[in-house]
Structure 1
Amino acid sequence: MGALPIGRQLVHVARRRHLHPRPIALRSPNMPDSSRDQLIGFIGTGNIGNPMARNLIEAGHQLVIYDLRPEVMENLLELGAESAKSCAEVASRCSVVFSSLPGPPEIEAAITSEDGILAGASPGDIHVDLSSNSITTVRRLAQIEAAAGVSYIDAPVTGGVPGAESGTLTVLGSGDADAFERVRPLLDPIGSNIFHLGEAGAGCLFKLLNNVIILCGNQIVQEALVLGTKAGLDPEDLVEKLRLGTARPYMGLAPYLLGKRFDNPSFTLRLAEKDVSLAIEAARANQVPMPVANAAHQTYLRALSAGLGEQSFLATLQAIEAAAGHEIPTIQIEGGGASL
């Protein structure tokens, strides 16, 4: 894969909510309307997909939803969504399908499996994938869907669960520009900053760059806190003074780290390892060395080996503590913010 052109079609779309949505031209003007155009599909209603789907419902849209875990669909069904038994059924009932899934294997299965999206989709349909993905996988899936007459839009989001809950995510879209414009009104309930960034894969790269910064940068904060407390500094005093200096922008992580707040995460360590790995893959394809990201990735792998995959991505602290032979004291301090 060569260098990715990402600057050609940067289009920022201001937020506009549609509480009583007008009809949206989801197909080409010469194609007839159908009941499929009045339904919106949504595949993957987990931690971040669920609030995005809920915001679409609350904006007045009728959803057909599917997730492998029935329990994560219950609140949406109570709000009026209809359930499907497979990705294929969602696609057969809806001309626009959103997906929000953990990573490349799940996304590919949702599209190409026997009961996947392409088994139910029709020419002229649009698939908007809100997941974090591999750039090479995005490009390949875009070609596969295009061969079936389906427009694939990769539109990963940043802002984490808080942004999904409030409908203020940043949507990093790329792919077919005409298809993106047709579904853009459906993105208004999801995000407050909506971009079209160019060819397939550009949105994915933007998302990976966003994530690799926080997912790798947080580890130096962890190392500093372990070093400081092992050397005898008071942890609360250490954080207080760091907040007064040039390290202040990084101290939003301190309450999570000192409080060891790793359970019930909005973004797991397993997903963090996946995103850092995908960023390194993109760097390798473009012949860009990333020694810091590679070192951070090794810490994620050690934490995964220690069984911490379903805890917060900040649980890498435990791997760093183990390597140092020192645990920082657990204390509760105010503040905090680590949304992806």
Structure 2
Amino acid sequence: MYKVSLITGDGIGPELSESAISVLNTIHDKLGLKFDITQLFAGDKALEQTGKALPDDTVDYIKKSDACMKAPVGESAADVIVVLRRMLDLYANIRPAKSYPHMPALRDDIDLVIVRENTEDLYTGKEFSLGNSSVALRIISEAASKRIAKYAFESAIQRNSKKKVTCVHKSNVMRITDGMFAKSCLEVSKDYPEIEFEQMYVDACAMNLIRQPEKFDVVVTTNLFGDILSDESSQVVGGLGMAPAANIGDEFALFEPVHGAAFDIAGKNIANPSSFLLSIKMMLDWLGKKHQDTKCFEIGEKLENTIFDLVKSGIKTKDIGGQMSTTEFTKQITDKL
């Protein structure tokens, strides 16, 4: 029995959470992999009602669970996800970008993953005013850089793909901070001679994600660059609706969709839940690896294949030009599972 904490979020978050619960319950009831799901409160509504975007009770429940899933939250997102990433040392932000049928991808052969350092850079929030100027401290350490580089190379080994790691930085301008990141990745690459290694400036990477996205395999980069490039890579394969994400540490992991709370369509039951459901697949893979549970891998692959076959048949939710509601789309998946 795996204990899963689920932050239901804001906007379309509760609707996506219901979809995720339906899928997890189907896996629990029909496929023999057991889950104990606890729904938790965090985000804008939590801030409004309790004065804290991330209540202490929510944090306590998360720490007691085997893994956490987080639906999108609103304006208080930084006070939820950024805090949890640092609190739980979830140092690797993993964002796959893969072509799916009948989605407006630039090509049908894109299969890459952004491996983003998740604890440092400008996202530490160390900002202050200095007279009429504002200053932000950019922190890049050798330890964190080597840790995320190792994760990227290990990911390249495990992926059935090109066996290539691209280190993305801007060391020609930020010579000390990005210079350290680039040097650290280069040093780690020497431990993986079987993996092709290249370095690329972030502006060139942004261009090449449009020009030649099929050339990428694993992209490792810093926190800010990773945030931007992962959104770009998601759009390259058709949009954020098919973009899952994982925040992974040595002992714990949190899984979420890349996109936000989409308040403009909240409550209409038209949101595409695929990104959150593909996050379940990432969670199953992580649980399978951590607990050496082959059933997790098997069911994760089955879930992804079910979503793939469904969109291949042309079935979509209304928010992306289809005819189905969120509930109807989810039922198609649970029936096929």
TM more than 0.5: no
Select the structure with the greater relative contact order (CA < 8 A; seq sep ≥ 6): 2
Structure having the higher Rg: 1
When normalised by structure 1's length, the TM-score is 0.28
When normalised by structure 2's length, the TM-score is 0.28
